[in-house]
């Protein structure tokens, strides 16, 4: 919740060029709140406000900004200043930020960084953004397996300033291979003279650097851990991931699912995403659907014009059939996509899942079909062959819900099986498929009945 | 990943009544994996497999099960056995489980619990499931403000067995009011003789017990914390929430949004939710939409039959207009609902958000309208008044995208402002609204043009 008075004070200070005042005021405010305030200012003021902050606060504010705002601001800063800010960040955040920069700029920034910061960040840059390696941080506490508990505590005293937050101490051998961990809790309880190797516990959970972040999130949820080490195939300790990183992953992945289901290429923001970008990202799906729907129009014009001329009221029920089929399909596909996303279905039960969903879909279709037939008969009671009309409506309604249930359940499962994103199965694709049943198939049935 | 061989071995052991064997085999397996295996067995075997586990493992297995499976299993167990299992759980999980039981059963279970377990769980039962109080646990480490660091460490030694995982020590005064916290990291670094009150830090984040869990999740994400204390209005420490609980909250809330957008009353599982429940939960929305769509049919029959008889091909373009309007509306509402869910929009900018979205919607409508007019003209080139047809299509297409953009953005914002769930604004409601523009309004325009 940005504080409006605060924003006003800063505006006044900016007008009067009183940067010191801004410094004093913002010293009391949490970085995420500063980010919120910043977002209400016009772009030309960003840099001046950021200049009023020390590098550490500035780095935290930048992390809290929307990606669009961040891009805008970073575009204004020179490489030297960015390097200064990046050095203040934890390695995972620093790597993410560098990944967001244009390649040229990222290279320049890396060249300006001090060796220590570079050492932490460089190993992370080789992993994809959405992999365990991309979200891990390299700052961690590890001790050699021949340490005593006393050695370990002394070592922690030495390095505690550099490592902001840790909850476990990793024990590694000479080859840096991870052997186990000691929770801080256990460390406090242990006798100072005992060997770490006798106190440590085997690791319940480890992840590998190329593991997909969604997979990592599922492991965190399954084992209810707050932190997990990342090790390579030789067992060498590379970094650690903490639950707060996973919170972002889960939010991101859920958004991706929702966005994809709505035929949106990416997470769009209703204010910050530029209009052009929004149109560019939304148009492809729309045009794809439209072309499919115009193909439907083509079939109707050439195959069913005589039927429609003869029984014009048939057209009146097209929206009802399309909407019912569409809703049933959307419900089905949502249930399946979400179950896949949450990892709660066993893909081996694919046939059973399809059978169960289609059975539910047909039942819903019969319920809706009966209602539509009854009300349809009332609506068109003075048509000469009302029974034929409602028969066509009923058959089309049941067929449509059966077909859309089948596609709604089968398409995401098959995509998932083939390692594609199951969410891509819904939205425009499902709409088009469904509308064929709600219009072309319905008119085809009507034509058969009336001839 | 349930191991098929394991399931097979257990099946054989069950057949031979060899419970001891099952005990030995499952001793090596993680509870979440046992839950996965259990789900592949028929209900009549559940109890016998659970009996092979000690109460602690059984309690962990039960927590890992799907809610449907859990309900089924708990229905089979007597109150004594459930009490035994509940006592093994952390207080937040225990409270959740008790909340899932029928009230009668829950009361009986509570009466069978030992006083200590009861003391931990009872305070939690008064908070709603989806509040901070509902997800917190009461097990925590607190020390009095007149303790020294040495006292604190001794105290931790005493109680460490009871508190499974902790990362911070809370400091409270005589009235149990929370003053600050000490991270384990700081505790290790501090001089044993110093007072905890001098070492402790002020709390960055606290939450109140009636705060909505979604709100709590946003705070965790904003401040990147792994744990936060829950305090009442007098500042008395009630419990703590850890990031692993928040992982579940975020998953749950994202699912709720998605489910609601698809017109599903609840999170349904493609296998475990009984068919009857699924039909019951899916039917209301479907029937609501259907009745709306049949009202549309009624209008078409009574107002536009002559127009349709005269120009039957008009019907051919109804699906295209409905689908385009529907997709634009779905995209818009998804963007807005997700932004509200993630807390990235400022509700004060409501007019600006609406303006921006409608502008994008109209632009998309013009793009699609032009394409539809051109292809529509090609499709119906041998109709006598093709220009009038494509004009009606174009006008209806632009009007539909404008209207659905407007409703798609305004409805969730208004619902949110009135403290309703914004996700309720999408799905069936949007479909119906959209279909009026794609059929009734389109035919109305056509009627005007052709008369």
CATH 3.10.580.10 holds for A142-242: yes
Q: For tokens 């999170």, what's the residue?
A: B267
CB contact under 8 A, A156 and B336: no
CATH 3.40.50.300 holds for A275-450: no
Predicted pLDDT at A147: 94
Tell me the chain A residues in contact with residue B290 when contact means C-beta distances shorter than 8 Å.
320, 323-324, 368, 371-372
What is the CA A357 to chain-centroid distance, rounded?
A: 26
What mean pLDDT is predicted for residues A17-26? 81
What mean pLDDT is predicted for residues A158-186? 86
Min Cα distance A317 → chain B (Å) is 6
Whether A3 has a pLDDT exceeding 70, the answer reads no
Helix spans in A101-173 (H): 103-112, 115-121, 132-135, 149-159
Residue A196: count other Cβ atoms within 10 Å of its Cβ: 24
Identify the closest residue of chain A to B361 by CA–CA distance. Answer: A279
Look at residue B301 and give its three-state secondary structure: helix
Min Cα distance A149 → chain B (Å) is 12
Partners of A231 in beta bridges? A237
Task: In whole angstroms, give the CA distance from residue B405 to residue B324.
Answer: 11
CB contact under 8 A, A184 and B185: yes
Look at residue A154 and give its three-state secondary structure: helix
Min Cα distance B47 → chain A (Å) is 22
Min Cα distance A19 → chain B (Å) is 26
Tell me the chain A residues in contact with residue B226 when contact means C-beta distances shorter than 8 Å.
165, 167, 226, 242-244
CB contact under 8 A, B226 and A290: no
Predicted pLDDT at A433: 83
Q: Which of B165, B270, B324 sits opposite A335 (nearest CB)?
A: B270
Best mutation target, B247, B302, B411, B444, to test chain A (most A CBs within 10 A): B247
CB contact under 8 A, A334 and B439: no
Whether A125 has a pLDDT exceeding 70, the answer reads yes
Predicted pLDDT at B1: 41
Task: In whole angstroms, give the CA distance from residue B260 to residue B282.
Answer: 11
CB contact under 8 A, B352 and A255: no
Structure tokens given for A347 = 């893909």
Look at residue A231 and give its three-state secondary structure: strand
Q: Which of A278, A338, A375 sits opposite B255 (nearest CB)?
A: A338
Q: Which of B278, B327, B380 sits opposite A360 (nearest CB)?
A: B278
Identify the closest residue of chain B to A351 by CA–CA distance. Answer: B271
Local structure of residue B146 (DSSP, 8 states): T
Residue A451: count other Cβ atoms within 10 Å of its Cβ: 8
Q: How many Cα atoms within 13 Å fall on the side-chain side of residue B167?
A: 17
Q: What angle do CA A261, A215, A253 make, to 5 degrees?
A: 30
Whether A2 has a pLDDT exceeding 50, the answer reads no
CB contact under 8 A, A251 and B338: no
Structure tokens given for B234 = 């007098």
Predicted pLDDT at A395: 96
Average pLDDT over all residues of chain A: 85
The band of A384, judged by pLDDT with boundaries at 50, 70 and 90, is confident
Predicted pLDDT at B194: 93
Predicted pLDDT at A401: 94
Is A188 in contact with A156 (CB distance < 8 Å)? Answer: no
Domain positions in chain B: 4-130, 142-242, 275-450
A72, A76, A77, A79 alpha-carbon torsion, rounded to 10°: 90
Tell me the chain A residues in contact with residue B222 when contact means C-beta distances shorter than 8 Å.
32, 64
Best mutation target, A286, A369, A386, A404, to test chain B (most B CBs within 10 A): A286
The band of A76, judged by pLDDT with boundaries at 50, 70 and 90, is confident
Structure tokens given for A201 = 């516990």
Predicted pLDDT at B321: 93
Closest CA to A148 of A87, A181, A190: A190
Predicted pLDDT at B361: 92
Predicted pLDDT at A194: 93
Q: Which of A255, A294, A380 sits opposite B372 (nearest CB)?
A: A294
Predicted pLDDT at A428: 66
Is A191 in contact with A200 (CB distance < 8 Å)? Answer: no
Closest CA to B171 of B193, B195, B154, B188: B195
Interface A–B counts its CB contacts (< 8 A) at 382
Structure tokens given for A384 = 């000469």
Structure tokens given for B157 = 């030694």
Q: What angle do CA B107, B113, B117 make, to 5 degrees?
A: 115
In tens, the pLDDT along A220-245 reads 888 888 889 999 999 999 999 988 88
The band of A1, judged by pLDDT with boundaries at 50, 70 and 90, is very low
Q: Which of B2, B225, B290 sits opposite A324 (nearest CB)?
A: B290
Predicted pLDDT at A402: 94
Predicted pLDDT at A171: 95
Look at residue B242 and give its three-state secondary structure: strand
Best mutation target, A297, A355, A429, to test chain B (most B CBs within 10 A): A297
CB contact under 8 A, B263 and A66: no
Closest CA to A383 of B440, B301, B309, B443: B301
Min Cα distance A261 → chain B (Å) is 9
CB contact under 8 A, A368 and B286: yes
In tens, the pLDDT along A254-277 reads 777 777 777 776 667 777 677 788
Torsions phi, psi of B445, nearest 5?
Answer: -60, -45
H/E stretch holding A38 reads helix A31-38
Greater confidence, A200 or B8? Answer: A200
CB contact under 8 A, A279 and B364: yes
Q: What angle do CA A37, A42, A45 make, to 5 degrees?
A: 80
CB contact under 8 A, A251 and B286: no
Residues of chain B with pLDDT under 70: 1-4, 43, 164, 265-267, 272, 343-344, 347, 425-428
Greater confidence, A36 or B448? Answer: B448
In tens, the pLDDT along B333-388 reads 888 887 887 766 776 778 888 888 899 999 999 999 999 999 999 998 888 889 99
Predicted pLDDT at A244: 85
Greater confidence, A324 or B273? Answer: A324
Predicted pLDDT at B392: 95
Q: Which of A326, A349, A439 sits opposite B431 (nearest CB)?
A: A326
Homologous superfamily (CATH) of B4-130 is MgtE N-terminal domain-like (1.25.60.10)
- Could you tell me what percent of chain A has a pLDDT over 90? 30
Structure tokens given for B445 = 């325009």
Closest CA to A437 of A381, A375, A392, A383: A392
Phi-psi region of A223 (alpha: psi -120 to 50; beta: other; left: phi over 0): alpha
- The pairing of strands A237-242 and B142-144 is unpaired
């Amino acid at each position: 919740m940005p504080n409006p008075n605060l924003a006003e004070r800063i505006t006044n200070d900016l007008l009067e060029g009183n940067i010191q005042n801004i410094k004093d005021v913002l010293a009391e405010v949490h970085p995420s709140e500063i980010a919120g305030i910043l977002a209400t200012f016009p772009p030309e003021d960003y840099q001046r406000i950021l200049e009023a902050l020390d590098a550490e606060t500035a780095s935290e504010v930048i992390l809290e900004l929307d990606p669009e705002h961040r891009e805008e601001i970073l575009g204004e800063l020179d490489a030297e200043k960015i390097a200064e800010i990046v050095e203040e960040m934890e390695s995972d955040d620093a790597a993410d930020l560098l990944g967001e920069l244009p390649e040229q700029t990222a290279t320049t920034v890396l060249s300006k960084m001090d060796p220590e910061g570079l050492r932490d960040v460089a190993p992370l840059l080789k992993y994809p953004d959405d992999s365990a390696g991309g979200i891990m941080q390299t700052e961690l506490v590890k001790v050699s397996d021949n340490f005593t508990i006393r050695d370990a505590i002394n070592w922690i005293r030495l390095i505690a300033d550099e490592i902001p937050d840790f909850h476990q101490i990793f024990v590694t051998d000479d080859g840096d291979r991870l052997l186990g961990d000691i929770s801080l809790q256990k460390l406090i309880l242990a006798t100072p003279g005992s060997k770490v190797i006798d106190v440590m516990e085997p690791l319940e959970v480890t992840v590998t650097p190329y593991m997909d972040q969604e997979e990592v999130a599922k492991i965190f949820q399954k084992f209810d851990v707050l932190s997990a080490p990342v090790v390579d195939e030789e067992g060498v300790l590379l970094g650690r991931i903490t639950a707060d990183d996973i919170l972002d992953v889960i939010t991101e992945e859920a958004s991706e699912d929702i966005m994809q289901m709505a035929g949106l290429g990416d997470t769009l923001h209703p204010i910050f995403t530029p209009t052009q970008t929004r149109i560019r990202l939304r148009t492809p799906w729309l045009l794809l659907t439209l072309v499919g729907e115009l193909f439907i129009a083509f079939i109707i014009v050439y195959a069913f014009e005589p039927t429609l001329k003869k029984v014009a009221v048939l057209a009146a029920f097209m929206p009802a059939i399309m909407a019912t089929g569409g809703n049933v399909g959307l419900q089905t596909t949502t249930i399946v996509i979400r179950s896949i996303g949450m990892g709660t279905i066993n893909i081996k039960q694919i046939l059973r899942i399809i059978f169960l969903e289609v059975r539910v879909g047909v039942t819903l279709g019969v319920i809706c079909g009966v209602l539509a037939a009854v009300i349809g008969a009332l609506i068109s009671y003075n048509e000469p062959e009302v029974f034929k009309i409602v028969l066509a409506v009923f058959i089309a309604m049941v067929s449509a819900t059966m077909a859309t249930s089948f596609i709604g359940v089968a398409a995401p499962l098959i995509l998932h099986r083939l390692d594609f994103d199951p969410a891509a199965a819904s939205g425009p694709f499902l709409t088009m498929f469904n509308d064929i049943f709600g219009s072309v198939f319905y008119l085809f049935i009507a034509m058969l009945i009336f001839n």
